[in-house]
Amino acid sequence: MTAPDPLDRQLLDRFQRDFPLDPRPYARIAERLGCGEAEVLDRLARLTDSGAIGRIGVTLRPNTVGASTLAALDVPPGRLEAVAAAVSAVEEVNHNYQREGSPNLWFVVTAPTRPRLDAALERIAAETGLPVLDLPMEAGYHLDLGFALWDR
């Protein structure tokens, strides 16, 4: 993407939380930034197209709606592609990353209930033949509150 100019930066930094709950939210943002509503809409569309913005939406706090866990597998390097594809294919898996070290494959599993979550983990263990490390959250100190990208 092209480098974000000051107005883009403000759009990306200031509205990660507390998005206006107003029938015309983009007009409220425009008022705060001193520009027009159409300008805000155009820029947000451009930032979305360029991939800088994933979406304007909600993140759910873990375990308030349904159940979730972080799980990990220690995959032999030669099998990583295949195992990662098998894990990604599971509907309940919503994040799946390769990380350095061991274990090397980390994924987040969410489901409407803990039994259904357990069933998904068992399916992954059975399909891959690897023991699944199940690391459920116990307490949150700072949960996806967004953070300042430039004003640090």
Tell me the closest approach of the beta carbon of residue 54 to other proteins, in angstroms: 4
Query: What does the alpha-carbon distance between residue 39 and residue 8 come to, in Å, rounded to a whole number?
Result: 11
Residues ≥6 apart with Cβ < 8 Å to 82: none
Q: Which is nearer to other proteins, 34 or 138 (CB)?
A: 138
Q: Which is nearer to other proteins, 5 or 91 (CB)?
A: 91
Residue found by looking up tokens 């430039």 in the block: 150
Q: Which is nearer to other proteins, 34 or 141 (CB)?
A: 141
Tell me the closest approach of the beta carbon of residue 108 to other proteins, in angstroms: 8
Tell me the closest approach of the beta carbon of residue 76 to other proteins, in angstroms: 15
Q: Which is nearer to other proteins, 17 or 34 (CB)?
A: 17
Q: What is the largest CA-CA distance in the chain?
A: 58
Strand order in the sheet with 133-135: 105-111, 67-73, 133-135
Tell me the closest approach of the beta carbon of residue 62 to other proteins, in angstroms: 7
Radius of gyration (Cα) for the chain, nearest Å?
20
